[in-house]
Structure 1
Amino acid sequence: MEFHLLGMVTVLAHGHPVDVGPARQRCVLAVLAVDAGRVVSVDRLVERVWGDEPPLRARQTLLSYVSRLRQALVAADAGDVVRRPGGYALEIDPSAVDLHVFRDLYTRALGQTEDATAARLLTEALRLWRGQALTGVDGEWAEAERDKLERERLAAQHDLADTRLRLGHGGQLVVELAARAAEHLLDERVAGQYVLALHQAGRTADALQHYRQLRDKLVDELGTDPGPALQDLHRRILAADPGLTATPADVAVAPVVVPRQLPTAPGPFIGRHGELDRLDATLRDSSNERAGVVISVIAGAGGIGKTWLALHWAHRHADRFPDGHLFVDLRGFSPDERPMNPEAALRGFIDALGVDPRRIPSDLHAQAAMFRSLIAGKRMLLVLDNAADTAQVTSLLPGSPTCSVVITSRNTLSGLITAHGAHHLSVGVLVDVEARSLLTARLGAARVDAESAAANALIRLCGGLPLALSIITGRAHTQPHLSLAAFAAELRDSGLDALDDTDPAASLPTVLLSSYRVLTDEQAAVFGLLAIAPGPDIGLPAAASLTGLSPGRIRTVLRGLEQASLISQDEHGRYRMHDLVRACAADAAAGQLPDDEREAALRRLVDYHVHTAHAAERLLNPQRLPIRLDRPAANHGLEDLADEAAALAWLTAEHHSLPALQHLAAAQGRYDLVWQLAWAFNTFYLRRGLFRERLAAWRTGSAAAEHQDDPAVRILARRLLGHAAAYVGLHDEGVEHLLCALALAERTADRVSQAHIHQSFTRVWEEQGQYRRALEHATQALHLFRELDLPVREASALNSTGWYYARLGDYGTARTRCEAALESARRHHHRELESAVLDSLGYIAHHTSDHTRALDCYGLALLGYRESGNTNYAANTLDRIGQSHAALGQHDHAHAVWGQALELYRQQGRAADAERVQRQLETLGHASHQGSVQ
């Protein structure tokens, strides 16, 4: 079977044409034949057959065309059209399709070192043309494809002419080139070929006359002189250069060139063991030639050490590539130069391979084909450094699986990953140990050890960014009389300015801004807003609120910033940027974003956090008396949290930003939002045992509440501040705030607040071991809640009285109170309160020697705490469970649960509790050892 595309679209089976139907059907077959053996998607087929306006039932019509084509081809034993995942493919040997044979011959010709062989292959390729390509097929795609194929044909004709001229065949080409020159009047390459052919034919005067005519025409019509190549040819003809009349005997075979272009790797190289292992793994993959060309993309922010890593790895494995190493700095993000054109990089590679410049075609695609031919089958390493995007490197990729490619870029080059199966390697900052090793390697162990604290400060301020560390160590190296503490102080005081320099290569701001400059206006605006947003990271909905963009749009913009290595996304879907990158972006935003836009963005962000945190708090503690919020400035990004688990997840992710959000709201003069943020995070902080964070939130919130006219707000803030102070052992401060709140509540006859304040007092006295006074306040709270008909609060106060009776040794009264509280908690479906009461009942059972019942109660309480995410109370209950197991002689169980309690206490920063449990574990271990000895 043969398939003619370079002329009439004709299928020949056993020498006879096969009828493939009407024009649209022939178009389907032509599209499949151009990509013979490869899958063409249905969407692409529809687009190429009908253009931008397909009929309503285009897919069904396409299916009909494909069915008829299959019947015709199969019946003639001429091939088949098969359905594959994603589309259709024409099953035919590419060597039976004239277009693919033409391209194969052309590529082979470009890779030849002997002009005679190249001329033969090009002549054979051009003989396959039978006229205009795709004759008989209409439509936009066919027209565009015809133009493309005609350009390929013309390029082959030009290359054949160049090749034959180098062989000295100009006399045989005069007529052909005269016609071509007349058709392409201003094409300097054709003109040069015609001039050289005339000269080789002995018609030098005619050659010079044609040059003058062309020069005059260029000046008259384009206002320009001939290009350097044509001017050089003119000069050589005038000088009677014998090289222009070479004969086949004069043509020498170029020597084999083995390029070794790798620059010296920057030193010293520290760490990166995981990254090196991953690159080694890709090198092992390259031994499997069926896997194709192995491409590794090393991506990361500016100054992160991508080139450092790539060159170190390349030198370490240089011996694996005996046929040569090619290197190019593509200047994709160079601060003082434009990105290199692919043509220039490709020409540099071809020159490095020793190709005669006269044999290098001018067309980029032809050059790429020549390059692939030159390195086909060779074991070579290509390092493409500082690539701007996928388009810049595509033409530089080899076609031979014996080659390996390492590319560095600030972009992820997702197109290479998708289209070429490239391996992606993300490079992050150095960990502290590696950063210290870098300082030591550059400055010496004696100097670093002598100022260990200052060295640690430098490491922290540089954030593990290798370029920042290298800049600082470079200055310290050239200024040995200055202490490391002085450099740390400068970096602390001046921030990013301390890492600036007149030399772009030694200026971190210049390096970082080179990434900023290539962003779109939208990306730059979002990047700047992210930099001024409070907190260490940000979620997608918060980013939507900040920027005022829809969730879908902001996701796209963030993906672009992530691909540019300016931000990163963690496993929870939150975005963050390096502190030094943030400083650079903030500086850029200050100069680009108007003040009113930044202010509006930050107001939206605070509104988002207040309203979402309030919704989360209502899910965690629905029985708590709500507060009233003003409407948000905008609805962008406001979340609808589905349940308690979603609320806990959101609060867990966002609580690190709370201090900065409160200070931001205060700076905006929105004092109501400051205390509302503390209120909304209160239950979360209690459940997670984050007592110092809670205290800080309420100190800020209470100060803001003093700006409010509503006394209820000031009472609430003082009460919760006093309660928070008591939780961290600041009893005097706690009493002071609670007494202030109680006095104001009594003055305003706020009985609900009075009840809550008495409940808060119980914590103050319990922390000091004054259980009698705690019981008195719990009793007053109980009476007030009962009078106010707040049954859940009454049950909570009832449990408190039971707890303090138990702490005073009156276990009968304690049990009665707690059992009544349990019944009320279950009646009102308050799971959190139910767990607290069960914990109290477990304590009572334990202290009345009913340890089995104690374990049952504690177990139910622990289950409830874990379901609600209350790790604070869960730690206390685990501690008590261990005591019951120990009392029963179940030392292994006691050891296990005390170990869990110890871990939680440490996570929560509860040092005294952690030390106590540690002592219990040591005592338990000693007792177990004594028992085993006996």
Structure 2
Amino acid sequence: MHGPVPVATAALPSVPAGFTGRDEDLGRLLRVLDPTAESDLPVVICAVSGLGGIGKTSLALCAAHKAVRDGWFPGGTVFVDFRGYDDNPVTADQALLALLDGLGVRGSDLPQTSTAQYALYRRLLAEERRPMLLILDNASDPVQLTPLIPGTDHHRVLITSRDRLTDLDARLIDLDVLTSQAATDLVDKSLRLSDERDDRALREPEAVAGLAEVCARHPLALRIAVGMLRKRRHRTITSLVDELRTTEDRTERLGVRPIFEAAYSQLPADQARLLRLLSLAPAAEVSGEVVAALAGLAAGQAFELLEELASQHLVTPSPGDAGVRWRLHDLVRAFAVAVVAADAVFVEEGDAARERVLEFYCRWATAADALLQRPPEVPVEERFPTRGAALAWLDGERAGLVAAVQLAQEEHADVAVRLGRCLDAYFRWRRRFDDWTTVSRATQEAARRMGDGVGEALSWHRLGHALQETGRVTEAIDAHRQALGVFRATKDGDHEAQAWDHLGSALRRAGRLQEAIDAYTQARDLFRAAEDRHREGFAWNNLGLCLRQAGWTREAIAAQTQACDLFRATRDPSREATAWNNLGVTLQLAGRLQEAVDAHTHARDLCQAIEDRISEGTAWLCLGGALQGMGRVEDAIDAYGTALEISREVEDWQEAGMALENLAALHMAADDLVQARAHYLEAADAYTRDNARDLAARAQACADSLT
């Protein structure tokens, strides 16, 4: 059964007021429509596709109006709405009748059979030598369109569809959501079109940006939201944003739910299931592996379903160096989450999917973590043949891993704690301290829910480290004292020793050196009593740093030498390299420069052997300082240059700034002020990228002094 025959209009419908933000897409479309442009296609067809309400018809009409104004289609235009996503879409035969009517064929002139009607339609188009534009709007299936494509190459056909019509020989233009700027422009223009005195967008710029995001920069949702504001002229934009953020189903409140219901109802069962499960993914954008884990499917099956959903613009692929990742439009996600919540069977299905994806993350995060911390000769999972491979996987899944810990902290607290622990080394390696803070707070809450006092205290430890690295030293001291209190109360000597060691580091960072020395000494003595030589090495290393900072250089050298020996004896090349670097810096302060060069060289070699690029960069930087102290300027420049190259590679912008400042100082000493100023400016930029504003200001001041 089909609906009524559509009406074909020669007069183009108007473009919605406030249409904005599609300049690039409009340019692409016009280049295809231009009848004077050469093309290797037999008929130039352009198909604009995108999510329902994304603005496909508006773009098509904007392009058509401009083309008509420029005189491109003297043969005329014909517009037909195919109602492709209604219950009774228009058939090709029905559209043919509308097109013939638009071409002036009606009444007794209309042939009685469809075969004769198609023949007449093709003859009329062939005889019309002046270019015409056919706009076939809102089509859902190539079957609706194929019989209607002109058989000549001087006419143009413009199609809009929610599906990518890949079966047509057409130029495909995919329409995405608006940019943030275009979305805010739409709100401003639409309000002022209604009332030129409406200056709410000007008075509430942050709220306008919030409205754009809560509507997911979806044009139809934005227009409906603006309609709400127009009805209540004195309502603030902020109040609407707050209302939408707390609404259980934004798609319903914004009036766009029917669009998604129609698309969802037409999906095969396996695609509909995957769409529901994708809405429950921990992160907004996920890899194909995560999708496969969610759905319990083989990777190939998941990929095929994802491609089908992407062709209907319900899922968006994001190609990258590590492969394609997939994301749901925010409003599609909100719709699918509501669908799941409304059906007990779907809720159970979603719970099973979450458990699968958490297990996936735990399995591979554990393997990657083991590789980051292993000695080189220890066997590894085949999946991660090198540390680089493990880091690449962790980099790609970082957002999902962080979100998974937060997702698990209530109903899967044990998994949250286990997964959070696996990420500590990674966060240190990549200096992801904000993520470390987030995960530590989540695992702390998860451990508390389980009644796991030791786990909660260990999370306090990790939180203290993360806070310390972000400069929140007072909070870090409090966190470590919280952990220490738990361990002393439970007479857990091993963990108490670690707590003293960590507390010492926070106190040292705060400049409370005597308290720090006392804490490190407590830790050292407890580790020694427990015959834990590895952790005793940590305490000696940290004690050496504190003694050096206090000006007790000889004692610091003795402590750091002990640390080197202990880490070598316990076969931890990563920590041994760090200890050698620290010893080298102290030797420089003592004027023992050749010994310092040897220490930093040994640290560098250890780092290269275990593929620790971050620590290798530090070793090169410290080596440059020792070489510079010896007057070996060219060697120092090479060392600083290598440190700079590595720091840029691993995005350690603070260390990059330090290398650049050292290079600048060497060029200043050589009276090369132009190069020195350039390095200071680069250093200021590097520090700015690391949010180290004081260091950036210092480097900028040095550059300015050389102007």
TM-score, normalized by the shorter chain, greater than 0.5: yes
Aligned position for 2:12: 262
State the 1:622 CA deviation.
Answer: 3.4
Matched, 1:570 2:318: yes
State the 1:727 CA deviation.
Answer: 0.6
- Secondary structure of the equivalent of 2:167? helix
State the 1:484 CA deviation.
Answer: 2.2
State the 1:590 CA deviation.
Answer: 2.6
Q: Is the 8 A contact 1:688 1:871 kept in 2?
A: no
User: 1:326 is aligned with what amino acid?
Assistant: V
- Secondary structure of the equivalent of 1:406? strand
1:495–1:915 distance in 2 versus 1, CA, 3 Å: farther
1:922–1:831 distance in 2 versus 1, CA, 3 Å: closer
Q: Distance in 1 between matches of 2:37 and 2:577?
A: 73
User: 2:100 is aligned with what amino acid?
Assistant: I
Aligned position for 2:240: 487
User: 1:836 is aligned with what amino acid?
Assistant: T
- Secondary structure of the equivalent of 2:158? strand
- Secondary structure of the equivalent of 2:96? helix
1:273–1:722 distance in 2 versus 1, CA, 3 Å: same
Q: Is the 8 A contact 2:427 2:435 kept in 1?
A: yes
Q: Is the 8 A contact 1:755 1:785 kept in 2?
A: no
1:762–1:667 distance in 2 versus 1, CA, 3 Å: closer
Aligned position for 2:333: 582
Higher relative contact order (CA 8 A, sep 6+): 2
TM-score (norm 2): 0.81
Q: Is the 8 A contact 1:772 1:808 kept in 2?
A: no
Matched, 1:857 2:636: no
| Cα deviation digits, residues 774-820 of structure 1 (max 9, x gap) | 77686775575466564553443243243355568776775565455
1:282–1:809 distance in 2 versus 1, CA, 3 Å: same
Aligned position for 2:295: 547
Q: Is the 8 A contact 1:644 1:868 kept in 2?
A: no
> Which residues of 2 match residues 462-861 of structure 1 at below 5 A?
462-494=215-247, 496-497=249-250, 500=253, 507-572=255-320, 573-592=324-343, 593-623=345-375, 640-671=383-414, 673-705=415-447, 717-738=459-480, 744=487, 747-748=491-492, 750=494, 754=497, 758=501, 761-762=504-505, 765-766=508-509, 768=511, 772-773=546-547, 785=567, 788=570, 790=572, 792-804=574-586, 806=588, 814-815=596-597, 817-818=599-600, 821-822=603-604, 833-847=615-629, 850-861=632-643
User: 1:438 is aligned with what amino acid?
Assistant: L
Aligned position for 2:530: none
| Cα deviation digits, residues 400-425 of structure 1 (max 9, x gap) | 11111111111011111xxx2x1111
1:721–1:624 distance in 2 versus 1, CA, 3 Å: farther
Aligned position for 1:632: none
> Which residues of 2 match residues 910-929 of structure 1 at below 5 A?
910-911=690-691, 913-927=692-706, 929=707
- Secondary structure of the equivalent of 1:407? strand
| Cα deviation digits, residues 107-139 of structure 1 (max 9, x gap) | xxxxxxxxxxxxxxxxxxxxxxxxxxxxxxxxx
Matched, 1:279 2:35: no
Equivalent position to 1:296, from 46, 51, 55: 46
1:783–1:858 distance in 2 versus 1, CA, 3 Å: same
Aligned position for 1:326: 78
| Cα deviation digits, residues 24-53 of structure 1 (max 9, x gap) | xxxxxxxxxxxxxxxxxxxxxxxxxxxxxx
Matched, 1:391 2:110: no
After TM superposition, the structure 1 stretch with the greater mean CA deviation from structure 2, 524-533 or 357-366, is 357-366
1:358–1:467 distance in 2 versus 1, CA, 3 Å: same
User: 1:266 is aligned with what amino acid?
Assistant: P
User: 1:387 is aligned with what amino acid?
Assistant: A
State the 1:296 CA deviation.
Answer: 0.8
> Which residues of 2 match residues 424-463 of structure 1 at below 5 A?
424-444=172-192, 446-463=199-216
Q: Distance in 1 between matches of 2:508 and 2:631?
A: 27
TM-score (norm 1): 0.63
1:610–1:365 distance in 2 versus 1, CA, 3 Å: farther
User: 1:856 is aligned with what amino acid?
Assistant: D
The Cα RMSD (Å) is 3.7
User: 1:859 is aligned with what amino acid?
Assistant: G
1:338–1:808 distance in 2 versus 1, CA, 3 Å: farther
- Secondary structure of the equivalent of 1:538? strand
Larger Rg: 1
Q: Distance in 2 between matches of 1:660 and 1:750?
A: 31
Q: Is the 8 A contact 2:35 2:156 kept in 1?
A: no
1:280–1:834 distance in 2 versus 1, CA, 3 Å: closer
User: 1:471 is aligned with what amino acid?
Assistant: I
| Cα deviation digits, residues 693-730 of structure 1 (max 9, x gap) | 22222232344345679888667544433222211112
User: 2:205 is aligned with what amino acid?
Assistant: S
Q: Is the 8 A contact 2:483 2:499 kept in 1?
A: no
Q: Distance in 2 between matches of 1:687 and 1:600?
A: 33
Query: Which ranges in structure 2 are unaligned for 5 or more consecutive residues?
Result: 1-7, 193-197, 514-544, 550-555
State the 1:760 CA deviation.
Answer: 8.2
- Secondary structure of the equivalent of 1:395? helix
Q: Distance in 2 between matches of 1:808 and 1:598?
A: 63
User: 1:521 is aligned with what amino acid?
Assistant: A
Q: Distance in 2 between matches of 1:756 and 1:809?
A: 34
Q: Is the 8 A contact 1:430 1:466 kept in 2?
A: yes
Q: Is the 8 A contact 1:832 1:864 kept in 2?
A: yes
Q: Is the 8 A contact 1:718 1:737 kept in 2?
A: yes
| Cα deviation digits, residues 640-681 of structure 1 (max 9, x gap) | 34544443333233222333211211122232x323333433
Q: Give aligned-pair identity as a percent.
A: 29
1:849–1:363 distance in 2 versus 1, CA, 3 Å: farther
Q: Distance in 2 between matches of 1:566 and 1:396?
A: 28
State the 1:456 CA deviation.
Answer: 2.6
- Secondary structure of the equivalent of 1:650? helix
Q: Is the 8 A contact 2:43 2:156 kept in 1?
A: yes
- Secondary structure of the equivalent of 1:549? coil
After TM superposition, the structure 1 stretch with the greater mean CA deviation from structure 2, 769-778 or 313-322, is 769-778
| Cα deviation digits, residues 528-563 of structure 1 (max 9, x gap) | 111111112111111000111111111111111111
Equivalent position to 1:410, from 162, 178, 183: 162
State the 1:354 CA deviation.
Answer: 2.6
Q: Is the 8 A contact 1:762 1:773 kept in 2?
A: no
Q: Distance in 1 between matches of 2:661 and 2:633?
A: 14
1:645–1:782 distance in 2 versus 1, CA, 3 Å: closer
Query: Which ranges in structure 1 are unaligned for 5 or more consecutive residues?
Result: 1-257, 502-506, 629-637, 930-934
1:678–1:842 distance in 2 versus 1, CA, 3 Å: farther
Q: Distance in 2 between matches of 1:815 and 1:757?
A: 32
User: 2:245 is aligned with what amino acid?
Assistant: R
